[in-house]
Amino acid sequence: MKTKEIHISEYNYELPDERIAKFPMAERDHSKLLVYEKGQVSEDIFYNLPNHLPQGALMVYNNTKVIQARLHFRKDTGALIEIFLLEPAEPADYEQMFQQTERCSWLCLVGNQKKWKEGTLTREIDASNFKHQTSNVIVKATRRGEHGTSQWIDFEWSGGVSFAEILDVMGELPIPPYLNRETQESDKTTYQTVYSKIKGSVAAPTAGLHFTDRVLKDIDAHGIEREEVTLHVGAGTFKPVKSDTIGEHSMHTEYIAVRRHTLERLIAHEGKAIAVGTTSVRTLESLYYMGLKVMQNPDIKEEELHVNQWEPYEEESGKWKVQSSKALQALLDWMVRNELTVLHSSTQIIIAPGYEYHIVKMLITNFHQPQSTLLLLVSAFVKGDWHKIYDYALAHDFRFLSYGDSSLLIP
């Protein structure tokens, strides 16, 4: 059966609300760890993860940091409008965006939109919230119009403070909608990985939430190398598949940044890696296809490296089947020629049954929503054996979704 013809209803399972973890464990690394190895399922505690990993392997994780992407404004009428930042529009570069000190634009979702037909929303923030600020900061939001499924919103503010500071003071951390609760102060810490550092995500790469400094030191002590990539997780990660077949589902675009050094480490490991989370999977597997593009067109521009949703399944890429280390080497050589130390690109890749993994050999991930693209990714990784894993987790009291327990998958 062709991948596009897969019926999402085949990836459904009964998830009772009480199995969704509303809060994390008191100690991150005390969550349960399901180990699926070559068809056998067992369980352990997450802090023992290094004991299950091969010495000398390379582990890759996503160092993105969740931003306080929910902004609330009140109209003169008293109506509360929520603006949810999705991705930067002007400037489009994340780093530059957070350094802006007067104005910027984002693509956003707007809550209670019918109450905001026109005009500018204004919010005043007390000066005491900012360092070196004597007068209150006025933040204004204006709708420029629709942009695809989102709204283009222009922001302007006074006081010369950076947009990063504005978000830290006025923004709210966007915890997943299925937690059905308000964001709490504790989420500011617990909904970030201990290694998060590059701002830009609107959802955490949750497989990484179980790691502690203690576990990371133990991984190093076991002789396992670690590398970071950056993929800014978009709100589309929660987007349910609404169509009957996945061929009609349109994947969201996410932005990635990979250092030249990371490619060198991957090549040194023969293009094989242990991925922490589905975001690392999407980044690593996209690098393979970017390498193929460079092999086909050595003069390709950076913006043309974007990986389209169905690219891996097209006849053309099949003809170009090469070793993952060769594809990565081509990409590295291209970066050197173009004097790039960091590759900035984007991916829309959908990984579903029928997909052949090129780089990821082991996967650390949480338990995902029924009928989600993340469950499709897992199914593709374990060659359709996801039922065995999820049945075990449901029968053995594992906690599900973002704040839930973890699994190590070794096909």
For the cut 80, the answer to whether the pLDDT of residue 319 exceeds it is no
pTM, rounded to two decimals: 0.94
Order of strands across the sheet that contains 32-37? 40-45, 32-37, 406-410, 360-366, 273-276, 58-62, 225-232, 254-259, 342-347
d(CA 201, CA 67): 6
Residue 69's φ and ψ, nearest 5 degrees, are -85, -5
Across 251-272, average pLDDT: 96
pLDDT digits (tens, 9 = 90+) for 40-91: 999 999 999 999 999 999 999 999 999 999 999 999 899 999 999 999 999 9
Predicted local confidence at residue 117, as pLDDT: 85
| Percent residues over pLDDT 70 in the chain | 99
Q: pLDDT band for position 320 (50/70/90)?
A: confident
| Angle at CA of residue 111, ends 108 and 112, nearest 5° | 140
Across 265-288, average pLDDT: 98
Q: pLDDT band for position 141 (50/70/90)?
A: very high
- How many angstroms from the chain centroid is the CA of residue 157? 29
Predicted local confidence at residue 328, as pLDDT: 98
Predicted local confidence at residue 1, as pLDDT: 65
> What's the chain's average pLDDT?
95
Q: pLDDT band for position 12 (50/70/90)?
A: very high
pLDDT digits (tens, 9 = 90+) for 94-108: 999 999 999 999 999
| Percent residues over pLDDT 90 in the chain | 89
pLDDT digits (tens, 9 = 90+) for 355-395: 999 999 999 999 999 999 999 999 999 999 999 999 999 99
How far is the CA of 410 from the CAs of 55, 118, 363, in angstroms? 15, 53, 7
CB half-sphere exposure, 335, CA atoms < 13 A: 24
Q: Name 235's Cβ contacts closer than 8 Å, sequence gap at least 6.
A: 84, 86, 109, 174, 202, 203, 252
pLDDT digits (tens, 9 = 90+) for 211-240: 999 999 999 999 999 999 999 998 887 778
Predicted local confidence at residue 249, as pLDDT: 94
Predicted local confidence at residue 240, as pLDDT: 81
Q: pLDDT band for position 7 (50/70/90)?
A: very high
Across 284-290, average pLDDT: 98
| Angle at CA of residue 178, ends 176 and 183, nearest 5° | 50
Q: pLDDT band for position 149 (50/70/90)?
A: confident
Predicted local confidence at residue 317, as pLDDT: 67
> Any idea which of 174-183, 276-285, 290-299 has the lowest mean pLDDT?
174-183
Predicted local confidence at residue 306, as pLDDT: 97
Across 121-141, average pLDDT: 91
d(CA 278, CA 137): 39
Are 369 and 301 within 8 A, CB to CB?
A: no
Predicted local confidence at residue 131, as pLDDT: 84
Q: pLDDT band for position 135 (50/70/90)?
A: confident
Predicted local confidence at residue 315, as pLDDT: 73
